[in-house]
Amino acid sequence: MARAIGETAPLITIGALTFIAFLPDPPITEQFPYISFSWLLAPFTVMPIQMFDWVSRPQAEFQVNAAAAGIVLIAITLAMNAVAIYIRYRLRKKIKW
């Protein structure tokens, strides 16, 4: 998963045509039954493509959004790698070589 997150260039090259410019339906609604699962089937975009779109805009606010998204992407990658290393460590401890 962490490697897939790091593969931003292929995502931008291949998937930039699938950019979605609107938000999906919210999971919690104001009408009964108050919980909606329609957002699971809604179209979506990936964070690197969203960052690419924000960087290509001239307003400074979009540059800040892109930088924050980059930090979030790095944090998610580091967290996933840390979890993978911990799981690998725990599993290797149990194996008798």
Q: If pLDDT is split at 50, 70 and 90, which confidence band does 11 have?
A: low
Tens of pLDDT, residues 32-85: 888 888 888 887 777 777 888 888 888 999 999 999 998 998 898 889 889 989
Burial bucket for residue 51 (CB in 10 Å: 0-12, 13-18, 19+): buried
Domain boundary assignment for the chain: 2-94
Residue with more model confidence, 4 or 83: 83
- Let me know the angle formed at the C-alpha of 51 by 22 and 74, rounded to the nearest 5 degrees: 125
Q: Given this model, what pLDDT does residue 13 score?
A: 65
pLDDT(6) > 90: no
